[in-house]
Amino acid sequence: MTRHPQRSWVAAANEPGCDFPIQNLPYGVFSTAGGDPRCGVAIGDMIVDLAALEARGLLDGGGTFSAPQLNGFMALGRPAWDRVRARLTALLGEDGDRDLPLVPMSDATLHLPIQVAEYTDFYASRNHAFNVGKLFRGPDNALPAQWTHMPIGYNGRASSVVVSGTPIRRPMGQLKGDDGPEWAACRRLDLELELGAIVGAPSEMGSRVSVDQAEDMIFGYVLLNDWSARDVQAWEYQPLGPFQSKALGTTISPWIVTQAALEPFRSQGAERVNPLLDYLQESRPGLYDLAVGWTLNGQMMARTNYNVMYYSSAQQLAHHTSSGCPMRVGDLLGSGTISGPERDQTGALLEMTEGGKLPVEVNGESRVFLEDGDEIELYGFAQGDGYRIGFGPCTGRILPAT
């Protein structure tokens, strides 16, 4: 007997190519003309107004859904996350209540879904780490000695995390010139295709969390573009790593796909080079079978899968607390650039063009790095049987330097 996927009374949610079927139910923050930003859930081509649903007494979100970010709801903890998801699934199922406060997506403005507490970006694709390391340090020193033993990351800027659709200004910066440093507009502006994990539960200063505990702390995931000024980066990165080259902006998708929605798509990551220390051991696969990719000005540039990564978000989170560093509700962890082994599977132009030596053709033009007016769009989805769990678009357009 063939098992058909669960269906919703919202017709668009049942289309095979829809990013937001009833199996997904991602959270976001939206507003309509004349209204304040509030929390919602995507279903098909509609948004469930969670604040209105709670006001009617049809949903219990602890009074958090009228807020302009999801931090209050996340702070309620996993039992509340599970309870609300089950209730929404029942309300939106084929036999659910058809008199719900729905807003067409076309009538809504989407906002940053969380107040970002802190932002840390990691470096978890062995393909990306080797390719970039080779360009900066040569093939013999491409991977640092510790790379296969622990997740490597840097603390970024929460203040420059923006929602999809927000323009990104080309940065000015100090660059290496022929006769010393020079002040100029970035000439080697790049994207990075990543997945961002949203931390929904805190940890205490001085305590450590296991990988299993870290799994339980993750609320969900977004697409993430870590915009990068490669020429600024090359001049500044030694000895302490990226600074201003990564501070110009980080774009995330507006919908947070929950860990619960991705549960059926768990996947093993890249093959281990050496055993990890006990505190990084996983009791179950921590990555997901997610098709991801990116376009430049509408042209498909690369496709790969999130399961090529070497470290999971839970391992990164566990390592982040290994010194006793406290985590907060609303912390954002970038996965690092997701790159496969082939040129058309790379998540950054730096890799794809081998540092600018191999131009690519974009809509009939020879290109190396990003130019003013360019628009990058990231995509990602997990393909189920008759449905898919999608993230929606994650876009940004480059504005000229000022």
Among 144-148, 165-169, 361-365, 372-376, which stretch is predicted with the lowest mean pLDDT? 144-148
Domain presence at residue 278: yes
Domain presence at residue 1: no
Percent of the chain with pLDDT over 90: 93
Residues facing 172 on adjacent strands? 185
Q: What does the block give as tokens for 259?
A: 């860990």
Q: What is the pLDDT of residues 312-339, one digit of tens each?
A: 999 999 999 999 999 999 999 999 999 9
Per the prediction, the chain carries an average pLDDT of: 96
3-state secondary structure of 231: helix
Residues facing 49 on adjacent strands? 40
43: domain CATH number is 2.30.30.230
Domain presence at residue 6: no
Q: What is the pLDDT of residues 253-289, one digit of tens each?
A: 999 999 999 999 999 999 999 999 999 999 999 999 9
pLDDT value, residue 142: 84
Final residue before a domain boundary, out of 61, 86, 111: 111
Q: What mean pLDDT comes out for the span 65-88?
A: 98
Final residue before a domain boundary, out of 111, 142, 175: 111
Give Cβ neighbours of residue 374 (< 8 Å, ≥ 6 apart). 296, 297, 397, 398
Let me know whether 22 and 155 are in one domain: no
Let me know whether 239 and 259 are in one domain: yes
Total domains in the fold of the chain: 2
Cα separation, 335 vs 304, in Å, equals 14
Let me know whether 270 and 205 are in one domain: yes
Q: Provide the residue type at 155 as one letter.
A: N
Contact 221, 254 (CB under 8 A): no
Q: What mean pLDDT comes out for the span 152-172?
A: 97
Let me know whether 21 and 146 are in one domain: no
Domain presence at residue 276: yes
Contact 337, 348 (CB under 8 A): yes
Catalytic, out of 4, 111, 128, 319: 128
Answer yes or no: is pLDDT of 2 > 60. no
Contact 43, 22 (CB under 8 A): yes
Q: What does the block give as tokens for 108?
A: 């809504």
3-state secondary structure of 56: coil
Q: What mean pLDDT comes out for the span 114-141?
A: 90
Domain presence at residue 363: yes
Let me know whether 86 and 128 are in one domain: no
Q: What is the pLDDT of residues 219-262, one digit of tens each?
A: 999 999 999 999 999 999 888 889 999 999 999 999 999 999 99
Answer yes or no: is pLDDT of 4 > 80. no
Answer yes or no: is pLDDT of 42 > 90. yes
pTM over 0.85? The answer is yes
Q: What mean pLDDT comes out for the span 359-364?
A: 97
Cα separation, 127 vs 116, in Å, equals 29
Domain presence at residue 3: no
Label residue 206 by pLDDT band (50, 70, 90). very high
Contact 226, 246 (CB under 8 A): yes
**Strand ranges (E), 34-179:** 38-43, 46-49, 102-104, 109-111, 119-122, 153-155, 161-163, 168-169, 172-177
Percent of the chain with pLDDT over 70: 99
319 is catalytic: no
Answer yes or no: is pLDDT of 3 > 50. no
Let me know whether 125 and 99 are in one domain: no
Let me know whether 169 and 129 are in one domain: yes
Q: What does the block give as tokens for 105?
A: 């997506």
Answer yes or no: is pLDDT of 393 > 60. yes
Answer yes or no: is pLDDT of 1 > 70. no
Let me know whether 307 and 330 are in one domain: yes
Final residue before a domain boundary, out of 111, 145, 169: 111
pLDDT value, residue 138: 84
Let me know whether 66 and 130 are in one domain: no
Among 87-96, 139-148, 310-319, which stretch is predicted with the lowest mean pLDDT? 139-148
How many Å is the maximal CA-CA distance in the chain? 74
Q: What mean pLDDT comes out for the span 291-301?
A: 98
Q: What mean pLDDT comes out for the span 70-82?
A: 98
Range of the domain at 164: 119-399
